[in-house]
Amino acid sequence: MKQRIEQATIALETARLSLDKQFYPEYHLATYAGWLNDPNGLIYHNGLYHAFYQHHPYSADWGPMHWGHATSKDMVHWQHQPIALAPGEQYDRDGCFSGSAVSHDGKLYLFYTGHIWLSDVGDDSQIYQAQCLAVSDDGIHFEKKGVVLPSPEGYMHFRDPKVWYQDSRWWMVVGARDSSDLGQVLLFHSYDLFNWSEDYQILAKTDDKNVYMWECPDFFPLGEQFVTLFSPQGKKPQNHQYRNRFQNGYLVGNWSPNQCYEVTNQFSEIDYGHDFYAPQTFLSKDGRRIAIAWMDMWESHMPSKPHGWSGCLTLPRELTLSDQGKVYVNPIKELATLRQSAIEIEPCIFEKNTQIMLLEDATACEVELIWDLENSPAEKFGFWVGNGAQFFIDGQSQQLVLARHYPEHTISDYRSAALPQTRQLKIHAFIDKSSLEVFINEGEICFTSRIYPQKNQRALTLFAINQSAKLLKATLWRLNKAVE
């Protein structure tokens, strides 16, 4: 594996020299070259946060999966590390697929899916997947230990292990697709991380006959309950919902090692934007539940590919659970360390068909807006980023809308969610070179999408169309660069 990692590192460093930074982020974690998708192995270990990710170092297109790696002291400022895993063993020859990490006795354990094509590459009906282990003493260099959990009988799609410790045992959930092509999550246990139970429990499964796979499962306590976070494949669109190629969301329920999972809150989407998939959670140093996701979507246009790279991770977000069983999602407090001096905008009323430019170049910035919904009869009001992206309140349909229009990249679409029935609406948005993340009313709703402004067309502008809108407060910060 060492030689394969060295070869991949050379390829990355060579490609980095010619990196086109038109869309390359200032404060989001991305690879300097090649392809990036699911976050893996997110963990706090021996004083550092580790973020691994699915990575193809030789092309901006998906290919044989490696594990890229970065570390941070604060979840904000990231430093790239050498590639952690490369495929090539008999059990992972066609890819080191997604997985998780645990810290135990000073060592870092990576659990991942070894992927093998049994026929032509890309034929998902002929594969073999098993859960594998690699261990590191220094958190940088890993030794593979081979397969620790083979695929159970009747399962071909069996991937993305998430491991944790509870009640004197190690537990693992794995995403699966049964012989009837129905998605589910399987639960296993171990006492030593190497030997896993052959018997398993179906923790939860789909009741939607269209959903053929549950990918990238996570299972964790939040408040007094347990959340199952996963990515169902095959879900059909319903009006404004489920419009992406694949979805992501969660169940809430009650669980203990001695009882089955009792679901109390059925599937809910966790993000309403275009580009949010395969989130994984971990605990911060002080015990907060943090999530990071892949900020792209399968089979979507990725205009950075001609620049030699594709894929980006979201900002870290803190998850909390309401008394009603709803997961609230907010950017972590550490992001405030990126802020430059605050720019305050006086409260004002936007008259019919008016606009105010807040920032001529919104390359890397954060903005908080509070609108008075009771006194804003405008048909449409919110903000534009350049000429191609807008986030607004639609007074006619009573929806929140994130819309994109980049015909030069064959992108023109929107995503929406029902407008909360509140007197005031707080919008908290983060804008980077090619991304927009919006959090509503302290995490009640969030939207995550990639955006692709043309050069010199990155102005951030507030607007109101057809009738007036009342802005109660606005604060803007330019943000410093965060990734080395």
| Segment 201-220, tens digit of pLDDT | 999 999 999 999 999 999 99
| Residue 101 confidence class, pLDDT cut points 50, 70, 90 | very high
In this prediction, residue 19 carries a pLDDT of 86
How far CA 267 is from CA of 111, 164, 287, 420, in Å, comes to: 27, 23, 26, 19
**pLDDT the model gives residue 442:** 97
pLDDT in tens, 179-209: 999 999 999 999 999 999 989 999 999 999 9
CA distances from residue 87 to 54, 55, 66, 209, 303 in whole angstroms, order as listed: 12, 11, 6, 34, 27
- pLDDT tens digit string along 366-400? 999 999 999 999 999 999 999 999 999 999 999 99
pLDDT of residue 120: 79
What span, in angstroms and rounded, lies between the C-alpha atoms of 320 and 305?
A: 35
Mean pLDDT within 97-119: 97
Asked whether residue 165 carries a pLDDT value surpassing 70, the answer given is yes
197 vs 130: CA distance, rounded Å: 14
Does 14 score more than 90 pLDDT? no
For the whole model, what pTM was predicted?
0.97
Percent of the chain clearing pLDDT 70 (strictly above): 100
Q: Which residues are marked as active site?
A: 38
Mean pLDDT of 249-268: 96
Domains of the chain: 2-334 (2.115.10.20), 339-478 (2.60.120.560)
Q: What is the pLDDT of residue 484?
A: 65
Mean pLDDT of the chain: 96
| Tens-place pLDDT, residues 72-83 | 999 999 999 999
- Residue corresponding to tokens 């509070």: 370
* Residue 103 burial (C-beta neighbours within 10 Å; 0-12, 13-18, 19+): middle
